[in-house]
Chains A and B, each alone.
Chain A
Amino acid sequence: MKRLSVIFAALSLSTAAFAGAADDVVVHEPYVRLAPPNAPATGAFMVLRNGGAKAVKLVKAENPASRLTELHNHINDNGVMRMRQVPAIEIPAKGEAVLKPGGLHVMLIDMKAPLSEGQVVPITLGFDDGSSKVVEVKVQKVMPAAMPAAAPMQHGQHHH
């Protein structure tokens, strides 16, 4: 019995060692945006904190709710939003990567079924050292207060 527990301890140790980057990265405030029922895609947002001494790259994401999962960014080019797939999202050593509306996101593409508020989507995050972790992410209605600060409004000249 004692021997068995030693084996278990060794096993769990080796699992932890293998986990690598996945163990250093802690996910905060994750959510999937509740989209209209017929929206073909939606986004998942979160803060990834790296407690390790080495930079980590998030290189892929998977989820069972959509047929395709990609890492994306938005570039605001003078008011034109250009969404682009990115090969990786870097999380600096002792730092964080912020995935938020208008910027980096995990994009859930080609939904298998409409999501409902409160539903949990398990998203598997894969890192550059081959380790991965599963995050249980709730589907939420996104409040506009969480949006990035706005640029000033442009009013036109009034001709009378």
Chain B
Amino acid sequence: MSSERLLLAIVAVLVAVIVGVAVLWQPDAPAPAAPPTLPAGGEFTLQSADGPVSLKDFRGRVTLLYFGYTYCPDICPTTLSALTAGLAQLTPEERARVAVVFISVDPQRDTPEHLKTYVAFFDPGFVGVTGSPAELGELAGRYGVFYQRQPGGKDDAYIVDHTAETFAVGPDGRLLARMAHGTPPDQVAALIRQYLNQP
């Protein structure tokens, strides 16, 4: 390589670096403080007692997704009660822009009709959905959700281990956050408000 070519190559690299910095430089952007990585999340269509429900049906709203099953004696009711209490702290205008979707990972026992009655106990506006094992498995993978039927128990009395986090999806369908099991209602309300008011 001639020294002239080498010089040209160096200049080209420098120009690329300068252009790159100029394009990417955002003095206002806060330094990313190593945020936890969120799963990809994304679209789905599952079955409710009132027909198919898709995540995109809730565009413009903050949607809270919870993966559980109605045989769950404690963990699922605790979460759904906390969401109910959290939503009660919102103004009616804010409340109208929030959806809660309970996704049963136990379609063998939880029919859409059964789910409708179950979630209505917490809030008549909550939506209960489920799907085929294949659909649920694929969706759970995208949301980083684990669930597994435990051996033992009679035909109808088995336990399902499952991720007990609640997922917050933004008005544009993007997965924004996940809340740990046991998040108290005021934190639920604060999280919803934060994402409702986000530009």
Contact = CB atoms under 8 A, between A and B. Distances in A.
A155 B177 contact: yes
B73 interface: yes
Nearest to A42: B73
Size bracket, chain A contacts: 35 or more
A38 to B, nearest CB: 5
A86 B179 CA distance: 28
B36 A154 contact: yes
Interface stretch (B2-10, B56-64, B184-192): B184-192
Taking each of A82, A108, A144, A150, which has the highest tally of chain B beta carbons within 10 Å of its own beta carbon?
Answer: A144
Interface string A134-160: 000000001111011111111111100
A49 interface: no
Interface string A101-114: 11001011110000
A116 to B, nearest CB: 12
Contacts, number: 142
Given A35-B77, A83-B75, A154 B177 contact: yes
A57 interface: no
B71 A80 contact: no
A145 B75 CA distance: 14
Interface string A61-93: 000000010001010110111111000000000
Contacts of A148: 182
B38 A156 contact: yes
Contact of A145 (B32, B156, B176, B184): B184
A110 to B, nearest CB: 7
Given A77-B161, A109-B157, A155-B177, 8 more contacts: A36-B119, A41-B71, A80-B162, A102-B75, A102-B181, A145-B184, A147-B184, A154-B38
Interface of B: 32, 35-38, 70-75, 77-78, 81-82, 85, 109, 114, 117-122, 146, 156-157, 159, 161-165, 175-185, 187, 191
